Amino acid sequence: MPATFRSDSDLSGPITCILSDVDGVMTDGGIIYGSNGEETKRFHVRDGSGIKIWIRSGYSFGIITGRRSVMVDRRAEELGIQHVSQGIGDKLSRAQTVIAELGLTVENVCYIGDDLPDLELMKSVALAAAPADAAADARDAAHWVLRSGGGQGAVREVVERLLRAKEQWNPILA
């Protein structure tokens, strides 16, 4: 974990965009192939609810993943995620492009990652989060190591924690 302690409100204040990996963050990392070769993924409903709440609160959400999957496009469409980048080898470079397109800087970005391909991006943003079951190096790079595992509500946990720190969660409950 980064050496300097900063409170949730200090870290979350400037965050207006969450970028996330998929496998191991929005899913449990398992890839299931059916007998006809089709690939399936399991997404957690609370993550979807959290993403919708984040977007409805006026913030941006994007996906940057190394794999390509029709299910990711489908899930993103269901949730209203407009920034979806699949098959990305250099996640940091792609994130920089998305951030620029949104008119933001890295100080406005939280990235949720779980493994080695995420490290460079995690180290470059204002707030890095890792699911509880992320690889050790990802957990070490994270400002926030989450209670939830990948595919078990980790994204929702980040959304709720950010909105609570911004004092925007209670109005959602009302």
Tokens linked to 139:
């957990």
8 carries a ligand binding annotation: no
Measured in whole angstroms, the distance separating CA 142 from the mean position of its chain's CA atoms is 12
Name residue, tokens 């192939």: 33
Tokens linked to 103:
């008119």
133 carries a ligand binding annotation: no
Q: In terms of residues, how long is the chain? A: 174
- For residue 21, the 8-state DSSP code is -
90 carries a ligand binding annotation: no
Distance CA 62, CA 45 (A): 17
Annotated binding site for Mg(2+): 21, 114
Annotated binding site for substrate: 23
Annotated binding site: 21, 23, 114
